[in-house]
Amino acid sequence: MYLMYVDESGDPGVFSGQNSQHFILIGLIVPINEWNTSLQRLVKLRKHFSKTMGLPEREEIHSSELVRINKIDAYRKIPKSTRISILKTFVNEIPNIFPESKIISVCLDKQGLGNQQSFQELAWKRLIQRYDTFLKKGNAKGIIVSDDSDEPILRGLLRKMRVYNYVPSKFTGYYNPVISNIVEDIFFRQSKHSFVVQVVDAIAHSLYRKEYPKGSLKKFGLQYLFDTLTPLLLKEASPKDPQGIVRG
């Protein structure tokens, strides 16, 4: 049995020049028998951040806010260099906290894909399909736990894919590998109430920084963070990409 925790980076709307040109969706697949041990490791890391860097144990780790504060007042007491050190340490420790887990990465460049309307649906289709394929190969069942999102749309999408899931065949025409190993509808959690959702937020943000590096932040090396997750990447999710990132 597996749990896949999901979070996103960017907005799903058409790129207008005022919003994000990307939509990233990350799934962290956690074996159920690893969950409790991983949680204890996360709690230990949070205690370390509290003692050495001044981040309260119960304060949400929100990656974009660590880089640039917008809403979280508790971050204002922590110097920027320390906040970025928290983010880098957090991501670097993920392979140690979840050694048996896998990461599925979907990264959509809106302009490169013709700026179509349904980036959220496209990304979720790709993620769900690959998670189900992973489960089938292991003859296992799985559940999806996501940060708050468009619950009615995603509930309808998953239910539809259990009946109709036509994809192009490698040979000719289409086939219908319906979703059969994902149990129940998607469960939604607010990130502030889930340490693991906060981990996925950090993964999504690190992929964003890799794909769209910002000059003023290059001195901190954030563009290299995602590469530290290489041992966990499910590369067969997209064999054409060296890191298995699904791009379309």
Domain ranges within the chain, ordered by starting residue: 2-237
Beta-strand relationship, 167-168 and 102-109: unpaired
- Which value, to the nearest 10 degrees, does the dihedral of the CA atoms of residues 77, 204, 242, 132 take? 150
User: How is residue 124 written in tokens?
Assistant: 């979720």
Asked if residues 191 and 201 have their Cβ atoms less than 8 Å apart, the reply is yes
Asked if residues 119 and 108 have their Cβ atoms less than 8 Å apart, the reply is yes
List Cα–Cα distances, 130 to 27, 101, 107, 127, in angstroms: 10, 15, 14, 5
Amino acid at 165: N
* Residue for token pair 């086939």: 175
CA angle 63, 29, 105 (to 5 degrees): 60
pTM of the model: 0.94
Asked if residues 10 and 204 have their Cβ atoms less than 8 Å apart, the reply is no
User: How is residue 230 written in tokens?
Assistant: 């290489």
pLDDT of residue 165: 85
pLDDT tens by residue, the chain, 248 residues = 999 999 999 888 788 777 888 899 999 999 999 999 999 999 999 999 999 999 999 999 999 999 999 989 999 999 999 999 999 999 999 999 999 999 999 999 988 888 666 899 999 999 999 999 999 999 999 999 999 888 999 999 999 999 988 777 666 667 788 999 999 999 999 999 999 999 999 999 999 999 999 888 889 999 999 999 999 999 999 999 999 999 98
pLDDT of residue 117: 66
User: How is residue 115 written in tokens?
Assistant: 């700026």
* Residue for token pair 């292991």: 138
Residues recorded for the chain: 248
Neighbours of 1 (CB within 10 A): 13
pLDDT of residue 215: 82
Q: At the fourth CATH level, which superfamily is domain 2-237? A: Ribonuclease H-like superfamily/Ribonuclease H (3.30.420.10)
